[in-house]
Amino acid sequence: MELILDILTGICFFIASLSVIIGACGLIKLPDVFSRIHAAGMIDTGGTAFFIIGMVFQTGWSLITVKLILIGVFIFFTSPVTSHVTANLARQKNILPVGKKIGKIL
């Protein structure tokens, strides 16, 4: 049973590390501010979610599990706010996104 949990944790950590690495590559590779926010969002959601799931497998049922899940909940509530603030500030400084614009934008 211990072995199965360890393997599950390993798989979760592997997926999380992979998504953090790909997100970091995207941060360097993508063309402008707005596209780079997507890569950062990938680290925020995929990375943290799988790291926390992996850690929950290790703690089992205890108060630490609750604390881990609360950390996840708070990150999921706050990370879109930072993404939106970055994007909104860039738009207010009149930086227009690269690529096509469909219809009239605000």
Q: Which long-range contacts (CB under 8 A, 24 or more apart) does 32-38 make?
A: 32/95, 32/97, 32/98, 33/86, 33/87, 33/90, 33/95, 33/97, 34/87, 34/90, 34/97, 34/98, 35/97, 35/98, 37/83, 37/86, 37/87
Q: Between residue 15 and residue 74, which ones bind other proteins under the rule CB under 8 A?
A: 18-19, 22-23, 25-26, 29-32, 34-35, 37-39, 41-42, 45-46, 49, 63, 66-67, 70
Q: Does 7 bind other proteins (CB under 8 A)?
A: no
Q: In the complex, which residues of this chain contact other proteins (CB under 8 A)?
A: 18-19, 22-23, 25-26, 29-32, 34-35, 37-39, 41-42, 45-46, 49, 63, 66-67, 70, 76-77, 79-81, 83-84, 87-88, 90-91, 97-106
